[in-house]
Structure 1
């Protein structure tokens, strides 16, 4: 976790300074005089050497958890990100739930009807949605469900939990449709492998109900899909940038868009670091969930610490049995 966060911090610090454009010029305008631009450089610390800017940035980050004052908003970058974070978390959470709700039934249905017309349909339709840009899908949803049918709002966020869920329906569905094909494909392949394993044949020979067998099959097939699902959470974070702009949501994505436009170094760095922290925490949660779903993951972790003792015990037990 620390290594990833350190690499993101260094990478973002360098990348935003390699992009052409002068943030002082962005703030003051094209008609600003050279002495005004130079004075703005001194106030922002941009006249200092790069290594001094980096050490000052790291010191501020470690002592305050902030990346400095936003150039465009003249406010704490951390406060700006945290004020926009709830909307983005709602969007990411609803999208993640929709990905699961769509992927699990489709993958199970396709695997149980292998090579049938249902399987072919499930494999083709998500692939088509994969090639559609998210902004185009969002605009189609707005025109169809908001403007024409007037079922959902055109954009913005409504108050209350019910209003938030109502506002997030179309944006979260837009993001979920872009990530569902990967999960469906991975989960379908794994379910087919598990269906051909020996324990499934044994369960069916014991005449267990099909719903019980499916539960065991799904539990054994979930771990690879869960790991891929954890990776796709980072793409959900990236998808908010475009989708929030389409639906007019006041989240971190739209804030990042404005920060990039204004070349707001501190704000871009704050958003990148907080998003990286969120992705890393999600990866840890996925690892923990993998252990809860599949006991072999817990066994591997425990066995890694006790492998030598277990090997000695097994050797003694084998000698005793002989």
Structure 2
């Protein structure tokens, strides 16, 4: 692949020696693991000839920013919708919000992105069709629609989970006691109900992080964003295995780190841990 279709046997032999492919498999594996743990690298790109780690790090900031914005949008939207639904149980607003997850769960994420482009970029002209603008404001404006698209795939499950948990907490004995003590409903809702209801939903968000990252990579292709997603698809089409390995490794590492952070936040929010070291 590096030398081309019409390479000579001598050139192939020299390339095998350069890449270490003439070594025993165990020695190749040891060299690969040593490079992985000492340099955080999976090798050089077959197509570009540069370090896979450097290629990924060049694209990582825009992808991480997109994931962060999408997470914030998903959490804020889910909190608002679930709170409204739980406080208006079996009323019109509750029914409308409960229908929303049932409809949106069947929408492919790339299709949602295309619809948003047609509506807000092509017809209304509020946002750019694709790419990333210059400067902080231009970047945020360019990432608005992609972030909404990614968040759109996470909101339904979060709303459904948080609404169910809030209804359960609202009917618990300690909430009845707080109401009997004359504590305002707003204080009970935001200080006690949401805090106790958020834990299972937060754990669900941690489970969905891997899907969130995967959805981001697809959305980058739809909106023409030169992040890790576009690098991944280019590497797959060119069979650039070191870069594909590197992206898979760093995505897996990101899932582990984010899941650990969510575990820590859950421990901090859990009222049962208060007073403990």
TM-score range, shorter chain: over 0.9
Distance 1:37 1:262, change over 3 A: farther
1:191 maps to which residue? 166
Shift in CA distance, 50/132, structure 1 to aligned 2, threshold 3 Å: farther
2:193 aligns with one of 213, 217, 222: 217
Corresponding residue for residue 266 of structure 2: 290
* Aligned mate of 1:262, from 230, 234, 238: 238
Q: What's the offset of the Cα at 1:284?
A: 1.4
In the alignment, does 2:160 pair up with 1:160?
no
Looking at structure 1, the residues matched to 29 and 237 of structure 2 have their Cα atoms a distance apart, in angstroms, of: 22
Q: Which residue number in structure 1 is paired with residue 251 of structure 2?
A: 275
Structure 1 unaligned regions, length at least 5: 1-23, 303-322
The alignment status of 1:126 with 2:92, answered yes or no, reads no
* Whole-angstrom distance in 2 between the partners of 1:51 and 1:278: 28
> What are the Cα deviations for residues 144-203 of structure 1, in whole angstroms up to 9, with x where unaligned?
111111000001111222111111110010011111111111111110110011111011
**Could you say which residue in structure 2 is the equivalent of 1:232?**
208
TM-score by length of 2: 0.93
Residues 130, 32 of structure 1: alpha-carbon distance in 2 compared, 3 angstrom cutoff: farther
Give the aligned partner of residue 314 of structure 1.
none
After superposition, the Cα gap between the structure-2 partners of 1:82 and 1:212, relative to the gap in structure 1 and judged at 3 Å, is: same
| Matching residue of 1:89 | 64
Whether contact under 8 Å (2:67, 2:147) holds in the other structure is yes
Q: Which moved more, 1:107-116 or 1:39-48?
A: 39-48
The 5 A counterparts of 1:13-28 are 24=1, 27-28=2-3
Structure with higher Rg: it is 1
How big is each residue's C-alpha offset from its partner over 1:26-51, in whole Å with a ceiling of 9 and x where there is no partner?
x455x434635555444434455543
Q: TM-score, normalised by structure 1?
A: 0.80
Listed one character per residue, the Cα deviations across residues 218-269 of structure 1 (whole Å, up to 9, x for unaligned) are: 0110111111112222211111221000101111111111111222121111
Question: 1:291 Cα deviation (Å)?
Answer: 2.1
Task: Give, in whole Å, the separation in 2 of the partners of 1:95 and 1:66.
Answer: 28
Q: Unaligned stretches of 5+ in structure 2?
A: none
Alpha-carbon distance change, 298 to 231 in structure 1, aligned in 2, over 3 angstroms: farther
1:208 aligns with 2:178: no
Question: Alignment length, in residue pairs?
Answer: 275
What RMSD in Å do the two structures reach over aligned CA positions?
1.8
